[in-house]
Structure 1
Amino acid sequence: MKWKCNVCGYEHDGPEPPETCPVCGVPASEFSPMTSETPEETVPESTEQPTVSDVMVETMINWGVTTVFGMVGHSNLGLADAIRKQCEAGKLKYIGIRHEGAASFAASAFGKLTGKPAACLSIAGPGATNLLTGLWDARMDRIPILALTGQIDTQVLGPGAFQEVDLASAFSSVACWSQTVLDTSHHAELMNLALKNAILQRDVGHLIYPNEVQTLPAPDQEAGTPEGRLPALDITPPESALSQALERLNQAKRPAIIVGHGARFQMDAVKRLANELNCPVITTFKGKGLIRDDDPLGCGVLGRSGTLVSAHFMNSADLLVVFGASFSQHTGINKDIPTIQVDLDPITLGKFHSVDVPVVGEIGITANLLSKGLENPKSIDRREEIAAKKAEWKAEKENRATKDNGKGLNASSVFAQLSELIPDNAVIAVDVGNNTYSFGRYFESKGQPVLMSGYLGSIGFGYPAAMGAWAAAPERPIVALTGDGGFGQYMGELCTAVKYNMNITHILINNNELGKISTEQRMAEMEVWETGLHNPNFAEYAEICGAKGFRVEKPEEIAEAVKAALAHEGAALVEIMCDPELV
């Protein structure tokens, strides 16, 4: 056994301590026994208390938010740290973007594809205002989205401090629900209400987080949940409206169905009704892909981005049945034809003009009830007529594809090849401009969902939207289709795609011009002015960013480049040099 002198530290071996210490002379009573075993190290219990941000982020997860797009900065650090903890726990995915506008576009696209909200995160001031364009896109297209914005300390609000913006006012017109998180708030309930409003109103829920509130301890608060807060929305239409609709459907000889983006999750029921009626199915541009173009009843896109086939079958109809469409001016639904309009949102019914039979109800339920209620309908089978009109349109497209001005590839020939190359299970995110008009006309859809900036029509949407689609469905091929003008606005996000190894194939239609604007200037008999663009070699730019880049200047190069890009595991870009006038 060992003994140790408490005064000088002398160590003594033996069954008993010495009578006196041989070093300092103190008596045996000043010795203490030593043990050869190392005492167990006690780990102190964690004293870290949950913060306001912890409670609110946990609530957000409980409501089904799985993904946050954003940028971490000095006025959202506490909130960002709460997000970090949940990411490390595997309950949340965070994607750090290069521009906050890309974050809100990506979150909007996530909602368009899934019907569920994603969140976008920013700092105060310029970070928050950068979110606004993407939030307006979500609001105008009726998409649920959650915006989380940092704010400077409340003690310096008022005199115009650094990055001070009145965010409550700035977001008042874009958000259906917007509140500032205070130290005295019921924090979980604020997140409950932000998401309840975003989901049910299909709109923007917004929370403002002053810097000092984010890290306040909230030991006694429990996270919120959606239990008992969301009603079932499988609403059956009123019997009177259903009867009126069936009376007209049973009598119509040439009905036509028009579907918009609002019908995207109920198309099985809509197609069942179309087959019962043997009638054409036309889509809005936002609804492109809801029915395959090679379906015997599929007639393609209606409106300015549409085809001669869709226009013929709308204008020759004696009854239109419209599911989940908003009657946009660009779609051009003929208001002089008797119309049954079906939508879950009563405000949408007859929004722009009177319709004959407005029917409020969930689209799938209503379409099934209409199918079951048909009694010897008088509608004629128009499949042969549809096939004949499609053959005419195919010949027209082939004729257009032969044109060559020597200024680049022809859009008709490009999209003919892309129709064969893009996988059936892909998600396609498009931008705006001539490239998108050409896609609407010429791309033969095999049912791929299409994401676009519909009512806002914002340039730059395409590539961030592809990032949102990848976050929502990383197992699917994701294709971004943009022009050079649109990609130029968010080309830094290619680095984001490389960082997170996003499997995005980007088809970039490059005509070195804002081609759509040049066309509009010519149509207005104005000089074409300031629409030319100075671009880099985008294929080389992709390589610099760490992606795979391909440049196509001849029609015979398209297939090889696109196949290689699709096969590449990660971000790839195919730059196709096109004629700005052959659209």
Structure 2
Amino acid sequence: MQVADYVTEQLRLWGVKHIYGVAGDAILPWLDVLGKQKEIRYIACRHESAAAMMATAEAKLTGRPAVCTATGGPGTLNLINGLADAYADQVPVLAITGQVETHKLGSNSKQFVPQEDVLRPISLFTTTVAHPEAIGHVLHKAFVTAGSQRGVAHLAVCKDIFSRSTSWPLVELLPRLHTPVMMDRVEMNHTAELLHRTKRPVVLLGSGCRQQAALCKRLAEELGAAILLTLGAKGVIDEAHPQVVGGLGEGGSIAGLSVLAEADLLFILGASWFPRSFIPAGLQVVQVDHRPVSIHAHPLLFSVTAELGEVLPLWIQRLERKESFFPWRAQVEAWHTSFWQETERIVAQGQDELIKPETLLHALSEVVDEKAVVALDTGEHTLWFNRAFRAKSQFPLFSGKWRTMGYGLPAAIAAKLNGPDKQVVAVVGDGGLQMNLAELMTAVENDLRFPIIVVHNNTLGLEEWKMVQAGLTPFGTRIRNPDFVKWAEACGVKGNRVETVKELLPALTEAVHADELRLLDIQCTLPTLTERKREIPFQAQAPHVYNERKV
């Protein structure tokens, strides 16, 4: 069969349901094949960066390799921002790009760039297919590499190769993409002893705990431990649980800092984020992760390289409830109460006032489904989501370590495509939305139905806050926006503007339960620079609880 047919059929056999891309000269033969079949749904995006973001979002939701495509030259380079998100967050994405014809490789032909050189820094595997008999081997290697090592794999296929025939046979079965790590008895027993001796434990949960949420909760309850949640772990445990005390970092809680100040053990489960500057000097740390590269260098850290599902039941079985846990548990529950009260204080507003972003995000948590996917863009609202959104079992979908703006809308599109019966909500800043605003038409074309919540305050708030806190004069952070409601209406989408607190809850309730694509333009408060200067970072609010390090 032709290479274009081979690639399509092979991906279908391996379970690929979507390919996200933008048409271009070097992939036209493949698009011709994709357009004549029904098993794989091709999503025609407006920008290649958004196509790659959709693929990373699908990979984060499903855990399976997701696929994106683009033409050579500018198309390939436009993919890089989205692919870098997959690289940074370690999720499996396969990028298949077009390249100039084989006889033009290395020339000054239009749109030629050595793609392997460009993508190598963010790829686990990258190669150029310049012969039809190579396609079977390298496609298999790329797909398995992305899936097993969790990252980006890339194939550049020369345009003329797509139309040539290959005799390489289709391979239906893949090797097992994940091999469990065998636990070490010494590590397991030493950790069990530390858990027995601790009197004031704190458990920090990351996104890697999601598949073992029940066991993580059980262990924390057996220990009487305070529970801290990273942004990726929101929804792993209901934040109404009396041992949850919030998070760490700029979007964390005062209660979380206070807990760490009194703790004698920090137990990190499934979190690759390491809050070094928030950890008090002298605090013993245990980190459990199945990937050794995720274990952090820290003089007081004991590492356990293992699968959570294997070691957690053994530790739970060996733990016995001790009276020494009970005073700490009572104090933890008091911190939980203060964490809840802290939230109520920061979101309190009069009904006729302009809406604070924290009020918006707290209100959103009251109306979304417990199992909803909340697709977040990157910005100041992300921190307020972490601090003010009270999660139950929701799944936050965001750009973690890469932190690219423009992620929220493409991520919501991918989430709805992969979970059509699941409630999806996009939360985007006005700055981030404008980076991929054209993808609104991608959602329209695919008849996707979800609300887009726009945090509209005419500023790149996080950058402005950081400049003010650093003693700099903000410049380039205030932005002029279009009329988002009119933009939505021009795309055939119903839009509403919300201006006061009393309008907020009814508007959110209607939008999240409407069976249509809807845009809510939430007019939010814009702090003056004087008010920005009065905003105190969490580190300064409780300087006794962290060991500041200058890096």
Secondary structure class of the residue paired with 2:245? strand
Q: Taking structure 1 as the reference length, what is the TM-score of the superposition? A: 0.86
Query: What's 2:539 paired with?
Result: none
Matched, 1:200 2:200: no
Displacement of 1:292: 1.3
Mapping for residues 168-207 of structure 1, pairs under 5 Å: 168-207=116-155
Deviation at 1:231, TM superposition (A): 5.5
* Inter-partner Cα distance in structure 2 for 1:574 and 1:117: 33
Aligned residue identity for 1:224: V
Aligned residue number for residue 35 of structure 2: 84
The 1:144/1:383 distance shift into structure 2, 3 A limit, reads: same
1:356 maps to: 301
Distance 1:508 1:232, change over 3 A: closer
Once the two structures are overlaid, the 10-residue window that deviates more, 406-415 or 470-479, is: 406-415
1:532 to 450, 469, 478: 478
- Give the whole-Å Cα distance in 2 for the aligned partners of 1:74 and 1:469: 29
> Which protein is bigger by CA-based radius of gyration?
1
Alignment CA distance shift 1:231-1:396 (3 Å): closer
> Whose helix fraction is larger, Structure 1's or Structure 2's?
2
Residues 334 and 164 from structure 1, CA distance in 2 versus in 1: closer, same or farther, beyond 3 angstroms? Answer: farther
Where does the alignment leave 5 or more consecutive residues of structure 1 unmatched?
A: 1-49
Q: 1:83 to 1:363 in 2, by over 3 A?
A: farther
Distance of 2:278 and 2:35 partners within structure 1: 47
Residues 242-253 of structure 1: matches in 2 within 5 Å?
Answer: 242-253=188-199
Give the Å deviation of 1:182: 2.2
**More contact order relative to length (CA 8 Å, sep ≥ 6):** 2
CA distance in 1, matches of 2:341, 2:300: 36
Match of 1:215 among 136, 144, 163: 163
CA shift for structure 1 position 333: 4.7
Aligned match for 2:316, one of 352, 365, 371? 371
- Contact between 1:256 and 1:281, CA under 8 Å: does it hold in 2? yes
Deviation at 1:286, TM superposition (A): 2.2
SS at match of 1:78: helix
Residue-by-residue CA offset, 1:371-393 (whole Å, 9 max, x unaligned): 12324556514554334223323
SS of structure 1 residue aligned to 2:375: strand
Aligned pair 1:290/2:241, yes or no?
no
SS state at 1:368 partner: helix
Match in the other structure for 1:75: 26
**Structural mapping, 1:148-163, within 5 Å:** 148-163=96-111
How many residues of Structure 1 are paired with residues of Structure 2 in the alignment? 528
Q: Which residues of 2 match residues 495-514 of structure 1 at below 5 A? A: 495-514=441-460
Q: Helix, strand or coil for the counterpart of 2:453?
A: strand
SS where residue 300 of structure 1 aligns? coil
Aligned 1:74-473 pairs, distance under 5 A: 74-86=25-37, 88=38, 90=39, 92-218=40-166, 220-227=167-174, 229-230=175-176, 232-329=178-275, 332-334=278-280, 336-349=282-295, 351-375=296-320, 380-381=325-326, 382-402=328-348, 408-473=354-419
**Cα distance in 2 for residues equivalent to 1:148 and 1:331:** 40
Separation of aligned partners in 2, 1:134 and 1:484: 19
Whole-Å separation in 1 of the counterparts to 2:249 and 2:219 = 23
310-319 or 568-577: bigger deviation: 310-319
Answer yes or no: is the 8 Å Cα contact 2:204–2:266 preserved in 1.
Answer: yes
Q: Deviations over 1:418-452 (max 9, x none)?
A: 12112212101111211111111111111201111
Alpha-carbon RMSD? 2.2
Give the corresponding residue for 1:29.
Answer: none
Q: Is the 8 A contact 1:249 1:377 kept in 2?
A: no
Query: What do the CA deviations read for 1:135-169 (whole angstroms, capped 9, x no partner)?
Result: 11111111111111111112123332111111111
Partner of 1:491: 437
Q: 1:55 maps to which residue?
A: 6
CA deviations 1:77-100 (Å, max 9, x no partner) are 1222333344x2x3x222111001
Q: 1:239, CA displacement in angstroms?
A: 0.8
